[in-house]
Amino acid sequence: MATLSAEARRRLTLAACIVGSSLAFIDATVVFIALPTIESDLDLGLTGQQWIVLSYSLALAALYLPAGAVGDRYGRRRTFVAGAIGFALASVLAGAAPDGALLIAARAVQGIAGAFLTTNSLALIRGVYGADSGRAIGLWTSFTSVATIAGPPAGGALVEFVSWRWIFFINIPLAAATVVLAQLGRCEERASVRVGRLDVPGAALAALAFGTLTYGLVEGADRGFGELWWAFAIALPALVAFFVVEQRVAEPMLPLRLFRERNFAVANAETFLVYGALYGQLVFFQLFLQFLGFSPFEASLLSVPPSAIMILLAARFGGLADRHGPRLYLSAGPFLVGVALLLLLLVSSRDDFWVAGSASLFLFAFGLAIFVAPITSTALKSAPTEFAGVASGVNSMVSRLGNLIAVAVIGVVITLVFDSQVAAEGAVPLARDQEGESLRAASLDAFRAGMILAAVLAFAGAAVAALGISDSEARGERAAEATPAET
């Protein structure tokens, strides 16, 4: 360890961040594939399937900001390693869960650990690489896509041929590798802020607002919104109180002054919209594939070619955005994603998929490759270096909040459209092996309505970037960061 050069340690740190982030990415993509099988085994319905996804996302959204602040104050590397260990332990609990309630609870614990892991992953890269973080983030994006390629087929095979429970146990060796690489890669990084106290009231209010809003949306579609009026009555005042607290506390977990930076504010607004569209596709498209008749393993294999596009192109677009400015890429990428989502409206059977569905997958991946590295880099580089952890937490929280709200709302739309056409009790939208012409027609209409909403989110994100992102500000930030290194 003593003979390792500074550059070698930086690379080991980057490798640790890639492997650690892959924990969360593999878990998410494999869980999407496993949802129909878990629903069949535990009798969860569409609402239960949503909660398997949303309990994880809710914990992430609620804790991203404090997780970034913890990393800034007490050490990003230390916090990152603790997150990896916690994620592995929660994965064991998820794999052993005997019923839906305990599985959903374990997923929430995964989300808690994942917040500390993923937020401090990006902040650690920023702290180690400084002004060169754009390319490093591009490499992070590319290589975590390797996990996206390997994870779903391996997970699909486990779901189909072994058990869905094993999709959680595959996280254990990755967690061990993450800890070892992070320890070997210890090197000089920009100082963390280690003063002050955590904003516990702000974190609690954010969790209360997001939690009650999500609960109202998801359960309201199943039980009736009138019965759950109290959830919305709690969510709105809690959200208002959160912003009031953040303006008054000495050290807020969400420094509102960061949003005075134009690119930071716009990049996070776009993140909310586009990541909502992305996760709307990722969750419900996997249900749709198995509804069409693809097995879990077959559905997982369909993600391989698009993921390869991400690996080949994401780092290149991250570098291009660093050199020429991010506005073009942040506008074009989401626009292509929106077009890809609309192409899914042409798919009504397994045979249809091979033309319109394949085109949608490849266009979706290309748009994602254009968008992901530039949006992350823009959001992080727009904030002062001392707030790297908080900026990473804000961007990660906003992305998770976007997918949290979008998955809940798209689920509401799918449920309402399906229920408006189906009188049978207990029928589940997009159920695997669904029989009956009327049920399948209702599921198709419901899915199409959901994808239209997701496309609207993607187009809105493209418009926000085209009108709001400043290339000159992005280049000025980069130049300002380069100046101290040159003196």
Dist. CA 482–CA 352, nearest whole Å: 52
Q: In whole angstroms, what separates CA 140 from the centre of its chain?
A: 15
Dist. CA 346–CA 148, nearest whole Å: 26
pTM here is: 0.78
CA distances from 187 to 69, 123, 135 (A): 21, 14, 19
Please tell me the predicted confidence (pLDDT) of residue 188: 67
Q: Is the dihedral of CA 395, 371, 369, 296 positive or negative?
A: positive
Dist. CA 390–CA 393, nearest whole Å: 5
Residue in 10, 14, 12, 25 with CA at minimum distance from that of residue 310: 25
Dist. CA 12–CA 30, nearest whole Å: 26
Contact status, residue 373 vs residue 318, Cβ threshold 8 Å: yes
Tokens of 269: 């607004």
Tokens of 65: 């900001």
Contact status, residue 50 vs residue 408, Cβ threshold 8 Å: yes
Q: In whole angstroms, what separates CA 359 from the centre of its chain?
A: 23
Residue in 344, 283, 364, 311 with CA at minimum distance from that of residue 50: 283
Give the helix ranges, DSSP H, for 43-99: 45-74, 76-96
Spans in the chain with pLDDT lower than 50: 1, 193-196, 477-487
Dist. CA 446–CA 415, nearest whole Å: 7
Dist. CA 449–CA 439, nearest whole Å: 15
Dist. CA 325–CA 376, nearest whole Å: 13
Please tell me the predicted confidence (pLDDT) of residue 194: 44
Largest CA distance in the chain: 73
Tokens of 83: 């997150």
Please tell me the predicted confidence (pLDDT) of residue 478: 43
Residue in 264, 249, 24 with CA at minimum distance from that of residue 148: 24
Residue 99 DSSP SS3: coil
- In angstroms, how far is the first alpha carbon of the chain from the final one? 31
Please tell me the predicted confidence (pLDDT) of residue 131: 65
Please tell me the predicted confidence (pLDDT) of residue 220: 77
Dist. CA 27–CA 51, nearest whole Å: 15
Convert the pLDDT of each residue in 188-232 to its tens digit: 665 554 444 567 788 788 888 888 888 888 787 777 778 888 988
Please tell me the predicted confidence (pLDDT) of residue 422: 84
Q: Is 165 left (phi over 0), alpha (psi -120 to 50) or beta?
A: alpha
Q: Is the dihedral of CA 295, 41, 276, 375 positive or negative?
A: negative
Give the helix ranges, DSSP H, for 162-261: 166-169, 171-184, 200-223, 229-248
Q: In whole angstroms, what separates CA 252 from the centre of its chain?
A: 24
Q: Which residue has the tokens 């909310």?
A: 272
- Give the chain's domains with CATH numbers: 7-185+253-479 (1.20.1250.20), 200-252 (no CATH)
Residue 150 DSSP SS3: helix
